[in-house]
Amino acid sequence: MKYKGFNDILVNNWPGVSRVGPDTLRMAHHAGQQAGRTVLDIGSGTGFIAIYLRAQGWRCMGVDVNSAALQCANRNARANNMKLEFKYSDLFSDVSGLFDLIVFNPPLGHTSAPAAPLEFIKSLMPRNNRVVIAIVYFFVGKQRRELLRRFLEQAPRYLAKGGVVMMSLYRPEMSLTGSWKTEVLEEVNGLRVVSLKRLD
């Protein structure tokens, strides 16, 4: 599908891969407003955010733990004639270098591979249904917060000087961002797009 308003990029969803949703579009929109040249997209899914930023001239790396997502994102990059690689990494495990921007739209559920069955079910779910999200969060919220903690602890090592982290977080998760200067860029149904800078 072609996304008007997002440089007309072509991005297709795949079964088993987290779908492009309103949260994806919000993250991509706000990421595109940032100053900088290099971006790391953690949990890249279909590749939408990295592909959009590449179309805006950024140098991008996308990583995910879901092999179906990596295949999907690499195919979407080729459909846009982009030299853009999506590769396996569990958060930063296979990443090196410093980035002006690190984007993370974290999963609601699974935090480690292989979790293909759950990812498949989630890819068919209505992403913005508050009841579904509340039920899923009840079961996986603790696991998600652990992933967020791990991410926030490791991210500073990969941020260039003055760099920014951009994440989507539910309101109660804001307490995890203690040692960061946070700015809420947008909030819809309790889900925030947040930019984070190091305090030191």
Residues engaged in binding ligand SAM (CB under 6 A): 18, 20, 24, 27, 42-46, 48-49, 63-66, 69, 90-91, 105, 107, 111-112
Q: Which is nearer to ligand SAM, 24 or 76 (CB)?
A: 24
Task: Tell me the closest approach of the beta carbon of residue 168 to ligand SAM, in angstroms.
Answer: 8
Query: What would the 3-class secondary structure string for 105-155 be?
Result: CCCCCCCCCCCHHHHHHHHHCCCCCHHHHHHHHHHHHHHHHHHHHHHHHHH
What is the C-alpha to C-alpha distance for residues 48 and 44, in angstroms, rounded to an integer?
7
**Nearest to ligand SAM of 68, 180 (CB atom):** 68
Query: What is the smallest separation between the CB atom of 200 and ligand SAM, expressed in angstroms?
Result: 26
Q: Residue 109 or residue 163: which is nearer to ligand SAM going by CB? A: 109
Between 106 and 163, CB nearer to ligand SAM: 106
* Closest to ligand SAM by CB, 112 or 179: 112
Residue number with CB closer to ligand SAM (31 or 163): 31
Nearest approach, Cβ of residue 90 and ligand SAM (Å): 5
Cβ 183 to ligand SAM, closest distance in Å?
Answer: 19
CB of 151 to ligand SAM, least distance (A): 8
The nearest distance, CB 9 to ligand SAM, in angstroms, is 13
E strand segments, the chain = 2-3, 9-10, 38-42, 59-64, 86-88, 99-104, 159-170, 180-188, 191-198
